[in-house]
Amino acid sequence: MTECSLTLPSSEPEVAQCINRPVDLVFLLDGSERLGHENFDQVRDFVQHLANHLTLAHNKNDGQGARMALLQYGGEDEHHLAFHLTHDLPSILEGLASMDYHDMSSSMVGAAISHTVDHVLMRHNVRQTRHYAELNFVFITDGVTGRKGLEEGVQAMLNNQAVSTVITMGTDVEQEVLEKLALKDQYAIFKGTDFSELNKHSFLDRFLQWVC
């Protein structure tokens, strides 16, 4: 991953357009009841803004640009795919618009990672990621999750040569879990006071610099 400044600017600039570096972004959204409808809407807007500002790939085999997928997860068997890994902006926006908040009673991120590896990175027994693109698991969470299957999930990311990014809001978080999800990279953990920060230009610009 290219080095970038993570210092927040003193004033909020216009969000920068992402450069053409090839990256496959797989968002894993914690849809448990702790998130809440209002925060869910903030996350939806955030991913929509990212899609509009990323330089998306021209096709599934493009050697440049970004592709995106989003999975909402809860318990061990609760996984809801908003859209498959794609470069197509209308498909992304349609998937976001039709994505419901499932308000699930629990959160098992380890099972979500394993499901993603088996059903998002792979589809119809065909690998969906580009071998020359960086694979980035982007976790959006309230910071609390069950630990069952976590070690296996982390190992699955490593086995797929993935990097990861963690976005979490508030102070009631499990730091050890966040660090595991971030593959022990402190700079890959983005924290804020509440989910409204996601849609500030400063946060969007900082995140785009990181993934690009």
Average pLDDT for consecutive 10-residue bins of the chain (212 residues)? 38 57 97 96 98 95 96 97 98 98 96 98 94 97 94 98 96 94 97 95 93 88
Structure tokens at 38: 């209002």
In a 3-state reduction of DSSP, which class is residue 172?
coil
Locate the domains of the chain by residue range. 23-211
Q: What is the dihedral of CA 108, 51, 25, 164, to 10 degrees?
A: -70
The fourth-level CATH superfamily of domain 23-211 is von Willebrand factor, type A domain (3.40.50.410)
161 secondary structure, DSSP code? T
Phi-psi domain of 147 (left: phi exceeds 0; alpha: psi -120 through 50; beta: other): alpha
CA dist 50 and 167 (Å) reads 14
103 secondary structure, DSSP code? -
Helix axes 201-211 and 37-53, enclosed angle (nearest 10):
60
Which of 201, 204, 50 lies closest to 190 in space, CA to CA?
204
- Fill in the amino acid letter for 122: M
Structure tokens at 78: 């609760």
In a 3-state reduction of DSSP, which class is residue 86?
strand
Residue 56, CA distances (Å) to 37, 63, 87, 102, 130 in order: 28, 11, 6, 28, 14
pLDDT value of residue 15: 60
CA dist 37 and 175 (Å) reads 24
pTM, 2 dp = 0.91
In a 3-state reduction of DSSP, which class is residue 41?
helix
Which of 146, 167, 166 lies closest to 157 in space, CA to CA?
166
CA dist 94 and 52 (Å) reads 13
